[in-house]
A and B are shown apart, each in its own frame.
Chain A
Amino acid sequence: MTLSRTLATAGRVLAQIRHDPRTIGLLLVVPSLLIGLVAWLFDTTPVFQQIGPAMLGLFPFIIMFLVTSIATLRERRSGTLERLLSLPLSKLDFIVGYTLAFGLLAVLQAGIATGFAVLVCGLEVEESLWLLLAVAVSDAVLGTTLGLLASAFARTEFQVVQFMPAIVFPQVLLGGVLIPRDQMPDVLHAISDWLPLSHAIDALNAVATGSEDDGYVTGQLLVIAAFALGAVALGSVTLRRRTP
């Protein structure tokens, strides 16, 4: 891996997105709109205070997963990936370049969504807003890295879109949004412990309610980072210079 090639790749991905203002608009605005919708939906109940923090992790996670998996699949299908892998570009240059570019977008997206949830929708946050932002951002980066990994197992656009229900939905269902994780059947609770999104939602809830100390949140952040790193490592193994 070389820094200049990684940065060149990240810059190239961002340049591509710059030519597509509609995608930028959707990326930055849609999570906030959805969070606003949820807040409005539960206007007369305290539900938004309970699930609002999880929303901050959920929407950026899902959207970054989709965008990244499709962008990298497009690269495989258009032949540009084959060209790149016949050049002196390492697999990590490619994956880290993508993670940097989409990670930067994720920071903007999570920042806007958090600001909107707190300032406009009135989400109350007990602990530091920065910590909330940090968890939301790491969540979006996690979505990016899982999307990169998922695209390695898809050969067509149809397949990659199927990964959304296959990989993302179970994490949402078991993440503790619908029902707190400690009230789930034991087997499902045990499974949910091994899903990265559960840790992200736990951390967001902890920051919002102030129920745990900073050490707990940092620990959860490290778990999310470990999953993201694992996805990057696995993703680079699945990139093949030689294909059938």
Chain B
Amino acid sequence: MVNNSPAVRIDGLRVRRGKSMVLDGFGLELPRGGVTGLLGPSGSGKTTLMRAIVGVQTIAGGTVTVLGEPAGSAALRHRVGYVTQASSVYDDLTVRQNLRYFARVLGAPAADVDRVLAETDLESHADALAGSLSGGQLSRASLAAALLGSPELLVLDEPTVGLDPVLRVDLWALFRRLAEGGVTLLVSSHVMDEATRCDRLLLLREGRLLADDSPAGLMRATGTTDAEDAFLALIRSGVSL
């Protein structure tokens, strides 16, 4: 039963930040497996939605169920990996020291550190201080930490921002490999050309879901040839699909 539950199920989610409601009665269901892209302009509520799924966001109402458990419950802390926009690793530790610490917190085997170093292509920088890494290396170090313990759901907030095109291709290849291994990935981006690499797209604007479709389905429905045009077409039409 638990295994048949969707990866994420959200009903009537309401989140207030400051005086404004960022999400007001938001609903969503994500099946298990595959890479889902969460796209939308900045300020559209992507990060808030991801934080609610991980269970670190104070919510004003509604339910968020992740892998059959309430979001943020203790049982999920081993099963959900989260990468924030900020790199959230310790600048004054080496990459390996960072990963060793997070592995010990997770209770993951020590060999996991070498595995995630290899997966994120950071082996040659393992003994460099995180503070001395380039932006792209730092975000990969942060991603490596989230891969420890092989979580079933990975929530990645703009993991490819600031990366050069080669690294972005490598990372998307890694996401694809993880998805083939049965991991569910939710990846936010505001780079629309990354949309076509996803199995499924969620377009978010001002806290509302404009579209929830496959990339091909989205372009067919809007009569466009790329995700950016599709997004613009949806905004102009003012209707949700």
Are A244 and B102 within 8 A (Cβ)? no
Query: How many A-B contacts at CB < 8 Å in the complex?
Result: 81
Provide the bound-state CA to CA distance between A32 and B209, in Å: 62
Q: How would residues 211 to 234 of chain A score, 1 for a CB under 8 Å from any chain B CB and 0 otherwise? A: 000000000000000000000000
A interface secondary structure, majority? helix
Contact of A82 among B59, B78, B88 (CB under 8 A): B88
On whether A86 and B56 interact (CB within 8 A), knowing A12-B97, A15-B97, the answer reads yes
Q: Cβ of B117: which chain A residues have Cβ within 8 Å of it?
A: none
Q: Which residues between 6 and 58 of chain A lie within 8 Å of chain B, taking CB atoms?
A: 8-9, 11-12, 15-16, 19-20
Provide the bound-state CA to CA distance between A230 and B54, in Å: 31
Q: Cβ of B56: which chain A residues have Cβ within 8 Å of it?
A: 82, 85-86, 241-243
Q: Which residues between 143 and 168 of chain B lie within 8 Å of chain A, taking CB atoms?
A: 145
Q: Cβ of B17: which chain A residues have Cβ within 8 Å of it?
A: 244
Q: Which residues between 55 and 90 of chain B lie within 8 Å of chain A, taking CB atoms?
A: 55-59, 72, 74, 77-78, 80, 82, 84, 86-90
Provide the bound-state CA to CA distance between A128 and B205, in Å: 70
On whether A242 and B58 interact (CB within 8 A), knowing A5-B105, A15-B93, A86-B82, the answer reads yes
A185 interface residue, CB < 8 Å from B? no
Closest Cβ neighbor of B131 among chain A residues:
A19
Q: Cβ of B229: which chain A residues have Cβ within 8 Å of it?
A: none
Interface size on A, residues (CB 8 A): 26
Q: Cβ of A78: which chain B residues have Cβ within 8 Å of it?
A: 86-88, 90-91
On whether A12 and B93 interact (CB within 8 A), knowing A78-B88, A82-B88, A87-B102, the answer reads yes
On whether A87 and B106 interact (CB within 8 A), knowing A12-B93, A242-B55, the answer reads yes
Are A83 and B84 within 8 A (Cβ)? yes
On whether A243 and B57 interact (CB within 8 A), knowing A86-B82, A88-B78, the answer reads yes
A80 interface residue, CB < 8 Å from B? yes
